[in-house]
Amino acid sequence: MKILNVVGARPNFMKVAPLHRAFLRREFIDSKIVHTGQHYDERMSKIFFEQLELPKPDYYLGINSKSAVALMADIMTAFEAVVLKEKPDIILVVGDVTSTLACALVANKMNIKLVHVESGLRSNDRGMPEEINRILTDRISDLLFVTEESGGVNLLKEGTSSDKIKMVGNVMIDSLAFYQKKANAIQTHFVANDYVLMTMHRPANVDNFESLQKIVDIIQSVGKHKKIVLPLHPRTANRLDGFGLLSVLENISNLTILQPQGYLEFLNLMMNAKLVITDSGGIQEETTYLQIPCITLRNSTERPVTIELGTNVLIPNLNVEKIESTVLTILNGETKQGIIPPMWDGKAAERIAEILEATFVVEAHKLSTI
């Protein structure tokens, strides 16, 4: 069974790494990696391959078009050529980025079995590009691997056959558990529990002046109470510069701005933070696993288990006063007590490999002996 695993953006790498390791341990699985090039900044792409000990991609498509439509079209065209050459049995996509949907559509058009890892997550916000990517990918997938109960519930509501849905846990947590000790050994000048870690990159938060000004206001208000460490996403840096807010940010006291971090470096920062403020989906999950307080600055989340069971608190509308009061509550020791969700145990990739082998390899063998 030949599997083409698609990666394109930072979160994909952490999800595919444990899957590729699990596949390589199986005699009847031939696993190959296709990197679309969607994230082309070296510190956002190449360094993750190195730190996650992934081999050099079997194919690097080098697609980094500026327009979202051109990006989708260029990925599809380049990926089609790979599929024609490799003739895979399965195309595996993870998450919800443009590369996910583009390669899923190619699989569908070329009648290749499609597997979606991290299925069923819904924010119910159609204004998020990721939401559309998730919905469309799920609708055309042959097997849907789910990270939390809400994923399965959502898929059933949308009419997905229950035999396609498999609850397996969270491959993002597989990577975190696997590399936690290595990340903890990194030397840093930041004192544990002495800072707030912050990340911002969602278009809704950084692509217009009013929202970005609120982000700056939030940093100023939180910085009055605790040091802030801010790894600056390239998208956010570009928007700050374009709106004339970068110099304002650079002059805020009690703020340390960092370049984009490698996976291990960022994991170290997260593990040692007093709390995390973010708009990232994956970080909501990682902080829940690490039992670190997290404040998510979004109007909705596609990962409700991080709120229902985990350490995550959702604050909509970039409410500066609400955010400051919540930060003070956490700094005063009144932290939300969370638990780790079911099956977030570092073994999700093994479960997926076992299901794929049983579903496709074993069934194919049975048919061949009839």
Give catalytic residue positions.
201
In 3-state terms, what secondary structure has residue 197? Answer: strand
Q: What share of the chain is helix, strand, coil (3-state, %, to 5)?
A: 50, 15, 35
Geometric angle at alpha carbon 352, from 357 and 283, rounded to 5°: 160
φ and ψ at residue 133, rounded to 5 degrees? -60, -45
Task: Tell me how far CA of residue 229 lies from CA of 58, 130, 164, 219, 279, in angstroms.
Answer: 36, 27, 42, 10, 15
In 3-state terms, what secondary structure has residue 212? Answer: helix
C-alpha to C-alpha distance for 257 and 227, rounded to whole angstroms: 11
Distance of CA 336 to the CA centre of its chain: 23
Give the end-to-end CA distance of the chain in Å, rounded to a whole number. 19
Phi-psi region of 341 (alpha: psi -120 to 50; beta: other; left: phi over 0): beta
Please list the alpha-helical segments (H only) found in 3-128: 10-24, 46-51, 68-86, 98-109
C-alpha to C-alpha distance for 169 and 303, rounded to whole angstroms: 13
C-alpha to C-alpha distance for 1 and 113, rounded to whole angstroms: 11
- Take residue 137 and report the two structure tokens written for it: 């990918």
Strand order in the sheet with 275-278: 255-258, 227-231, 195-198, 275-278, 294-296, 312-314
Query: To which residue do tokens 């819904």 refer?
Result: 122
